[in-house]
Structure 1
Amino acid sequence: MKNKRLLSDNEVQKGLRSIIFDGMMSQSLSTLTGSVFLTAFALALGASELIVGILATIPFLANVIQIPAVFLVEKLRVRKSITVLASALSRSLWLVIASVPFIAEGFEIPLIIVLLVALSLLASIGSCSWNSWMNDIVPKKSLGNFFSRKMLMSTAVGIPAALAAAWFISVWQTYFPGMEVLGYSTLFICGFVFGLIGVIVVSRMPEPSMTAQTMPPFSEIVKKPFEDKNFKTLIKFLASWNFAINLAMPFLTVYLMTTFGYSASSVTIFTVISQITSMLFFRVWGALCDRYSNVSVLKIAGPAMVAVALMWAATSAFAGSDLVAVLIVGIHMISGAASAGVNLATGNIGLKLAPKDKATSYLAATSLFSSVSAGLAPLIGGIAIGFVGGWEYFFVFAFILGLVSLWYLLKLKEDGNAPNKVVVKELVVELKNTTSPQNVASKAKSVSDHLLAAFK
């Protein structure tokens, strides 16, 4: 796969459209093979709670391979080839997982774990080269606008995909009782198809060649991000943040079902409300990221996200009250708005702060520590909950850890940082503009046009 040193404006635009389309396909893949359906699939095969926890942790911990993957990318310097091959192999393994119940009777769970480890390692290798590749295509001056649009499009596809999959499984269980495993296998096959379409689109993307330089020793490549004081602070923030958030949030479904008695369908509706709220805020946060900085957005959205954990702790006091449903919907909306800003800014800031000629190792470092923290947190949380007096104390502990992570945020430097008052004032202005009837109609048309253009 040949690449060019520089890309024309038309090639850059083609690359940006391809990134958005692959994001939509990847979202469809992750929705249909994600934690909800993979967990249900494993439980139907007789998996224990410990196995479910292991399955949830594997994708995060697999990112340890990003360290040797950095060397692979820097040595071969063919990011498109690495991305396409690793992604194609990774996504193809969902076909094998779908067939496990029918080809490995009695050994389903061990084989699924092995396959999930393999596909997660391959996906992590592909992600390492993909992040470096994107860093050379997406203009840094418009990171916020571009990735807010990408996340908006992905969410717009993910919501109906989740609802359709849930409806499909419900109907399947009605008409084919006792054969639910085959229903989940069908979802995995559909997810593979979407993933493969994304790989095909990525394979046709233009790729600028990496900056020519002498290959430094592997140890030097790995150490570089940690010798950059500001980037090291970013790594500390992302690692501590991901640990704090993932310590409690993965158990939110369990909390809502056991404490308040909500069904899985009701929890799904709450989740969709949160995702819809995120969609409304992506453009708002994206504009502020570009106008000021990612750190400026994180200083507003971060504390709001941390406060959500405290709000969940407070809801236990309203168990049995008629107000609890209103509170839960309200907290989901706040969480959706805050997480949109946090996810967008944390995704952008590494791309912005990483030096262009060293992006591979820098981005791999953030991904590695973020993923390991996010993977270990639910395991530790699952063990700790047995020693904690109640869910409300668990959420309070997550809130305290979130405050610790925000301390690192205060030390992080980025061009364009603005006082909180200025950012909040602009946030209110952007919200007024975004929620006006004319703007809502315009945004709906824009989303529709982008979806249609993506599939052309």
Structure 2
Amino acid sequence: MLGDVMAVFSPDPPLTGADLERASERTRRLSVAEGATWAVMCGFGDAYLAPFALFLKAGNHAMAFLGTAPLVVGALAQLAGASLSERTGRERTGRRKPLLVLTTAAHALGYLLLFWAPFLFRAHAVEALLVVGAVLAWLASFGTPAWTSWMGDLVAPERRGRYFALRNVVVMLTMVVAMLAAAAMLSAGRARGWIWAGFGGLFTVAAIARGTSSWLFARHHEPPLTPSPGSYFSFWDYLRRAPRSNFAKFSFAVAMMNGAVNTAGPFFTVYMLRDLHWTYFQFTVSTVVFLVAQSVVYRWWGAICDRHGARSVMKATSVILPVLPLLWAFITSYPALLVAQALSGCTWAGFNLASTNFIYDAVTPQKRARIVGYHGLLNAFFTLIGGNVIGATLAEVVPASFAIGPVHVTLLSSLPAVFVASSLLRILAAAIMLPRFREVREVERVGTLALLRRFGRGEPVVSAGMELIHRLPLLGRIFSSRPAPPPPKRGA
């Protein structure tokens, strides 16, 4: 056991040629498994933070804080993690494995504290939850720059879209199973009057899953990383370069969009459980629909990113993003909102995958960890403004009933007005920033409307269905005997 621990802190032996490729391939597979354990943690832990807060009687401002403040804490953690990953190890050679192994182990213990702190301090249960939630956010984000830098070294540029799409599919499907199991556990506890025990069971499973992630990280191969002398630059330097830096323009575009999204983001769970009176089971099904939709289209978006570039995907999905909160503002039917969740999952799968791939494409390995930290801090700032300033203020001051001329409008609460505001801000963010940055790779050009037509015709679903068919031995033989369809026209 002691030998295994010491091995984590010792640099991996240098490898070349076939040995390096075998070690890298093994690590890529381990990373998929680690993603699955992370998904179990999220399905049993993160997904039920907001319901736990509502169970503890948290108000709108507390919910806004829970949804946005951890992002700011996480961004500061990323900056600290980026600096540490550049400085650990002998002769200031960057080591990333020890950082990730230790922080994920501490993150696992944090989930036990998440339950016991509010349980032991019931008079201040909400405050205890918010404090522990911030600690969890720090531990979850501290290793993100190191992980991003590490995986960028292990996955070749020409296969990043497909690899991370495959990894995300495994993550999403695992999260679906985890959330369904978590919902069953919580429902069983609620039926017996043991809802405290139900949440305790959820967070215990989350802790075990995160501990398994730490064990898997210890078995990853880590290529050496030596930061170059010119790779350091301050956050102020990063902001100063914004008018000239293509990546800084991209970072501001993503940050502004995330700020607009999180104007409404912290309040969707509140709206579902408090205003629409959904059960925990209905809430879980809604989240599962969102995750399944993402898993269905990830591979398609990954192929589009590899062929047409990340910017094309971001532009296309940004046309749909402003529509999503409007559906929640004007629709209350549960089946219709499940359809909205499916559309949301399909859209966010593309935007998030493209944003991640753009970072890998645009940033050199030596600067990647620090850039991820600065990018996260910028996103956190806009998210804090969107959620805690704009969203929370609107949720408190906008009346649920008002008159527009002779028309009297009565809403379930003030939250539909927050959703409309989020839609308008998303339009503004996309219109201002997306035209300002360029694609960094040589890719085949495609028009935004052409890509949206392909998306609207159901090409991602058809592509996923055909892939599934070809993976089934009998149907695969039947379909493979047919002539292949002609390739799509350039730019279609």
Pick the TM interval, shorter chain. 0.7 to 0.9
Q: 1 CA distance for matches of 2:235 and 2:415?
A: 43
Structure 1 gap segments, 5+ residues each:
446-456
1:440, distance to aligned residue in structure 2 (A): 3.0
Q: What secondary structure sits across from 1:211 in the alignment?
A: coil
Instruction: Say whether the 8 Å CA contact 2:290–2:345 is kept in structure 1.
Output: yes
Alignment of 1:310-349 (within 5 A): 310-315=326-331, 324-349=333-358
Alignment of 1:203-352 (within 5 A): 203-211=218-226, 213-214=228-229, 219-220=233-234, 223-224=237-238, 227=241, 229-256=245-272, 260-315=276-331, 324-352=333-361
Q: What does residue 468 of structure 2 align with?
A: 440
Between Structure 1 and Structure 2, whose CA radius of gyration is higher?
Answer: 2
Q: 2 CA distance for matches of 1:180 and 1:200?
A: 31
Alignment of 1:376-395 (within 5 A): 376-380=385-389, 381-389=391-399, 390-395=414-419
Q: 2 CA distance for matches of 1:113 and 1:444?
A: 47
Q: Deviations over 1:59-111 (max 9, x none)?
A: 21112232233222222211111121122112222123333356556554444
For the aligned residues, what is the CA RMSD? 2.8
1:404, distance to aligned residue in structure 2 (A): 2.0
> Matched residues, percent identical?
22
Q: Deviations over 1:198-221 (max 9, x none)?
A: 1111111011111353376x6547
Instruction: Say whether the 8 Å CA contact 1:309–1:395 is kept in structure 2.
Output: yes
Q: 2 CA distance for matches of 1:174 and 1:210?
A: 53
Q: Deviations over 1:289-316 (max 9, x none)?
A: 111111111111221122222333343x
Structure 1 20/297 Cα, relative in aligned 2: closer, same or farther at 3 Å?
same
Q: Does 1:69 align with 2:81?
A: yes
Q: 2 CA distance for matches of 1:422 and 1:75?
A: 47
Structure 1 429/376 Cα, relative in aligned 2: closer, same or farther at 3 Å?
closer
Structure 1 367/357 Cα, relative in aligned 2: closer, same or farther at 3 Å?
same
1:189, distance to aligned residue in structure 2 (A): 1.0
Partner AA of 2:99 in structure 1:
I
Q: What does residue 173 of structure 1 align with?
A: 190
1:411, distance to aligned residue in structure 2 (A): 1.8
Partner AA of 1:406 in structure 2:
A
Q: 2 CA distance for matches of 1:404 and 1:344?
A: 22
Alignment of 1:128-143 (within 5 A): 128-143=145-160
Q: What does residue 411 of structure 1 align with?
A: 436
Q: 2 CA distance for matches of 1:360 and 1:85?
A: 18
Structure 1 402/45 Cα, relative in aligned 2: closer, same or farther at 3 Å?
closer
Greater RCO, 1 or 2 (C-alpha within 8 Å, sep 6+): 1
Q: What does residue 39 of structure 1 align with?
A: 50
1:9, distance to aligned residue in structure 2 (A): 1.2
Q: Deviations over 1:420-453 (max 9, x none)?
A: 25534665584374255x53334689xxxxxxxx
Instruction: Say whether the 8 Å CA contact 2:81–2:144 is kept in structure 1.
Output: no
Q: Does 1:24 align with 2:52?
A: no
Q: 1 CA distance for matches of 2:274 and 2:120?
A: 36
Structure 1 378/444 Cα, relative in aligned 2: closer, same or farther at 3 Å?
farther
Q: 2 CA distance for matches of 1:251 and 1:42?
A: 12
Structure 1 171/386 Cα, relative in aligned 2: closer, same or farther at 3 Å?
same
Structure 1 67/258 Cα, relative in aligned 2: closer, same or farther at 3 Å?
closer
Q: 2 CA distance for matches of 1:183 and 1:365?
A: 38
Give the counterpart of 2:366 among 357, 378, 398: 357
Instruction: Say whether the 8 Å CA contact 2:60–2:395 is kept in structure 1.
Output: no
Q: Deviations over 1:253-303 (max 9, x none)?
A: 443456655444333323322222222111111110111111111111221
| More off after superposition, 335-344 vs 116-125 | 116-125
Q: 2 CA distance for matches of 1:260 and 1:120?
A: 29
Partner AA of 1:441 in structure 2:
I
TM-score of the pair, normalised by structure 1: 0.86
Partner AA of 1:343 in structure 2:
N
| More off after superposition, 114-123 vs 44-53 | 44-53
Structure 2 gap segments, 5+ residues each:
1-9, 89-93, 400-413, 474-492
Instruction: Say whether the 8 Å CA contact 1:299–1:420 is kept in structure 2.
Output: yes
1:6, distance to aligned residue in structure 2 (A): 5.7
Instruction: Say whether the 8 Å CA contact 2:316–2:449 is kept in structure 1.
Output: no
Q: 1 CA distance for matches of 2:236 and 2:80?
A: 9
How many residues align? The count is: 433
| More off after superposition, 290-299 vs 252-261 | 252-261
Alignment of 1:129-168 (within 5 A): 129-168=146-185
Structure 1 33/372 Cα, relative in aligned 2: closer, same or farther at 3 Å?
farther
Q: Does 1:95 align with 2:109?
A: no
TM-score of the pair, normalised by structure 2: 0.80
Structure 1 235/265 Cα, relative in aligned 2: closer, same or farther at 3 Å?
same
